[in-house]
């Protein structure tokens, strides 16, 4: 596989990762809105914030991996394979 093809696959992988993050984030927003609605409708003590915090931590880690680590690896690969 040529370097151009490898680079293109890495860029395509980055695009898929970004789209995956946004999908994850939108599912998070929808699910949290639904859980808050259920929590408020049942009149229980407010518990939805625990789900927001736990899942939100996963969102933050996912964002870090997609927007920080992957670009760093791509930049390192490009630097190592300069012509």
* pTM given for the model: 0.84
Q: Dump pLDDT digits (tens) for 10-51.
A: 889 999 999 999 999 999 999 999 999 999 999 889 999 999
At 6 the pLDDT is 82
- 3-state secondary structure string across 6-66: HHHHHHHHHHHHHHHHHHHHHHHHHHHHHHHHHHHHHCCCCCHHHHHHHHHHHHHHHHHHH
Residue 79 pLDDT exceeds 90: no
pLDDT at 83: 60
Span 41-58, pLDDT tens digits: 998 899 999 999 999 999
Q: Does residue 81 have a pLDDT over 70? A: yes
**Domain ranges in the chain?**
3-80
């Amino acid at each position: 596989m040529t370097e151009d093809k490898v680079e293109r696959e890495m860029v395509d992988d980055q695009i898929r990762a970004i789209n995956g993050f946004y999908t994850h984030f939108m599912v998070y927003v929808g699910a949290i809105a639904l859980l808050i609605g259920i929590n408020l409708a049942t009149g229980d003590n407010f518990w939805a914030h625990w789900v927001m915090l736990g899942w939100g931590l996963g969102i933050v880690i996912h964002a870090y991996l997609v927007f920080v680590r992957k670009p760093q690896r791509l930049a390192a690969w490009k630097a190592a394979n300069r012509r």
